[in-house]
């Protein structure tokens, strides 16, 4: 899979060289390219924002630099890309959306700052036959200063679903939110030592009885889901 990310703070995306996403890139499973929007500004001050029509606070990102960078990216891709615009007013990003996005050939993430990107960018690329569509996406009900942190979240959630990125031992099938049936959240986990600061690992986990262990884990997961996320149980 290829993912292009456009930002006025390309250094913000340096974390994509680390950890799971960095390894997926090194293994050739993921091609991540970061672009500096300011390179597509045309005035000497490299301006990418302007005042909103109709008045109001803040600034809006101008359509011209966005159109220029997105058209440039399209010229270098073989498959029609899906354009993702992180915004607190988008559809909610969740595990089913991560699963859907993980089968795309090419994602382009347009990170806005200020009050957002001129709405004609979403409208234009949604109508383009050489693009796979546009998704305006929010990662939760709070407001960030820009789309970069949301892009990091989405890339990591999608990358770990690409075949070959996770080892067999850490399969995504057991994740919270991933079970077709059964509780949404996973229960508590333990490792050695069996006693730490007077706290014992639950006996059942040391019993070797795989049937009892599976039943205990399911009950713990149900309890946790009920207590912490009643909306999911």
One residue of 68, 97, 144, 172 binding ligand 6GU per CB under 6 A: 144
121 in contact with ligand 6GU (CB under 6 A): no
One residue of 22, 63, 146, 187 binding ligand 6GU per CB under 6 A: 146
Select the residue whose beta carbon is closest to ligand 6GU and give its number: 86
In the complex, the smallest distance separating the C-beta of residue 33 from ligand 6GU, rounded to whole angstroms, is 20
Name which of 68 and 144 has its Cβ closer to ligand 6GU: 144
- Considering only the stretches 75-83, 146-154, 175-183, 215-223, report the one whose residues sit in contact with ligand 6GU under the rule CB under 6 A: 146-154
Contact call for residues 106 and 75 (beta carbons, < 8 A): no
150 in contact with ligand 6GU (CB under 6 A): yes
Three-class secondary structure of residue 230 per DSSP: helix
Q: How many residues form the binding site for ligand 6GU (CB under 6 A)?
A: 13
87 in contact with ligand 6GU (CB under 6 A): yes
Name which of 13 and 221 has its Cβ closer to ligand 6GU: 13
In the complex, the smallest distance separating the C-beta of residue 112 from ligand 6GU, rounded to whole angstroms, is 7
Our measurement of the distance from residue 146's CA atom to the centroid of its chain's CA atoms, rounded to an integer in Å, reads 14
Our measurement of the distance from residue 171's CA atom to the centroid of its chain's CA atoms, rounded to an integer in Å, reads 18
In the complex, the smallest distance separating the C-beta of residue 5 from ligand 6GU, rounded to whole angstroms, is 13
**Residues 81, 134: Cα–Cα separation, whole Å:** 9
**Residues 72, 176: Cα–Cα separation, whole Å:** 38
Paired tokens of 96: 């089913």
Backbone angles phi, psi at 221, to 5 degrees: -65, -40
| Residue 115 annotated as catalytic | yes
How many other β-carbons are positioned within 10 Å of the β-carbon of residue 9? 16
In the complex, the smallest distance separating the C-beta of residue 208 from ligand 6GU, rounded to whole angstroms, is 45
Supply the DSSP symbol for 164. Answer: T
Contact call for residues 60 and 87 (beta carbons, < 8 A): no
**Residues 158, 125: Cα–Cα separation, whole Å:** 22
- Considering only the stretches 54-62, 122-130, 137-145, 186-194, report the one whose residues sit in contact with ligand 6GU under the rule CB under 6 A: 137-145
220 in contact with ligand 6GU (CB under 6 A): no
| Residue 46 annotated as catalytic | no
Minimal CA–CA distance to 111: which of 35, 165, 14, 179? 35
**Residues 152, 166: Cα–Cα separation, whole Å:** 18
In total, the chain counts a number of residues equal to 233
147 in contact with ligand 6GU (CB under 6 A): yes
Site residues, ligand 6GU (CB under 6 A):
86-88, 137-140, 142-144, 146-147, 150
User: What residues are labeled active site?
Assistant: 88, 115, 160, 175
């Amino acid at each position: 899979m290829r993912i292009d990310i456009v930002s006025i703070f390309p250094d913000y995306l340096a974390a994509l060289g680390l950890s799971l996403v960095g390894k997926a890139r090194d293994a050739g499973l993921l091609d991540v390219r970061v672009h500096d929007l300011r390179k597509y500004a045309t005035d000497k001050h490299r301006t990418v924002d302007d005042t909103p029509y109709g008045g109001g606070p803040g600034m809006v990102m101008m359509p011209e630099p966005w159109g220029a960078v997105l058209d440039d990216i399209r010229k270098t891709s073989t498959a029609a890309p899906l354009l993702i615009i992180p915004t607190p007013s988008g559809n909610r990003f969740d595990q089913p959306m991560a699963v859907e996005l993980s089968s795309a050939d090419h994602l382009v993430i347009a990170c806005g700052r200020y009050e957002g990107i001129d709405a004609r960018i979403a409208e234009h690329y949604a109508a383009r036959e050489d693009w796979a569509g546009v998704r305006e996406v929010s990662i939760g009900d709070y407001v960030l200063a820009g789309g970069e942190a949301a892009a990091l979240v989405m890339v990591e959630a999608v990358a770990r679903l690409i075949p070959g990125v996770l080892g067999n031992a850490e399969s995504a099938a057991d994740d919270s939110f991933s079970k077709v049936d059964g509780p949404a959240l996973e229960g508590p986990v333990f490792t050695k030592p069996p006693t730490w600061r007077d706290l014992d690992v639950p006996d059942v986990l040391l019993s070797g009885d795989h049937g009892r262990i599976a039943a205990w884990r399911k009950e713990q997961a149900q309890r946790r889901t009920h207590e912490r996320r009643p909306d999911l149980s």
